[in-house]
Amino acid sequence: MLSQLERLSRELDGRYASDAELAFVIDYVRSFNLRVQTYQKLQELESTIVQQACVKMRAIDPGVFVGKNQEDLTRKCVRDLVYGLRATALAVLLNDPDALQEELLLWLQTIMRSLGKSHVCDIMYSALQDVIKQHLTPPQANLVCPLLESNRRILGPTA
């Protein structure tokens, strides 16, 4: 939304925006209440979602939180999961997937690849989607899950 508004303000020079150019603002206003509810629900359920996502991740790959030297990476993974979830929640609230990509994902993609952790991101964002679908209403999940899926595709090994 903010990225789109910024683009619009750059494009408009001495003229009014057309109806087509304003469509995204109207869509945003219409979806605003749902976005706020979704954001608040993610905030409220964060610890439950994170805990259940970790259980699911372990079920998919029992070694997902174990490092190369057998060290326990649970704390780091939970930290990354929480950070990613909060950034995604903000992108839902502001309807700004472009900012999410520019501010976090493009950087994180290179870092996860350098650390050889792309497969963990794949599992993480897949598990998060499953858990979120259990806790959110379908309209709420429809706002969050496409972003989580996009995170998975960008950060995962097939990217």
- Candidates 47-55, 103-111, 133-141, 150-158; binding stretch for another protein (CB under 8 A): 103-111
């610890």: which residue's tokens?
Answer: 47
Binds another protein by CB under 8 A, chosen from 49, 57, 77, 108:
108
- By CB under 8 A, the count of residues binding another protein is 18
The string of DSSP letters for 50-88 reads HHHHHHHHHHH-TTTTB-TTS-B-HHHHHHHHHHHHHHH
Q: How far is the CB of 114 from another protein (least distance, A)?
A: 4
Q: Does 107 bind another protein (CB under 8 A)?
A: yes
Judged by CB, which is closer to another protein: 37, or 118? 118
Q: How far is the CB of 148 from another protein (least distance, A)?
A: 18
Binds another protein by CB under 8 A, chosen from 27, 71, 72, 102:
102
Task: State how far the alpha carbon of 54 is from the alpha carbons of 7, 40, 48, 71, 83, in Å.
Answer: 38, 21, 10, 17, 14
Q: Does 111 bind another protein (CB under 8 A)?
A: yes
SS3 content of the chain, % helix, strand, coil (to 5): 80, 0, 20
Q: Does 13 bind another protein (CB under 8 A)?
A: yes
Q: How many C-beta atoms surround the C-beta of residue 44 within 10 A?
A: 11
Q: Which two three-digit tokens encode residue 149?
A: 């899926």
- The residues that touch another protein, with contacts defined as CB under 8 A, are 6, 9-10, 12-14, 99, 102-104, 106-108, 110-111, 113-115
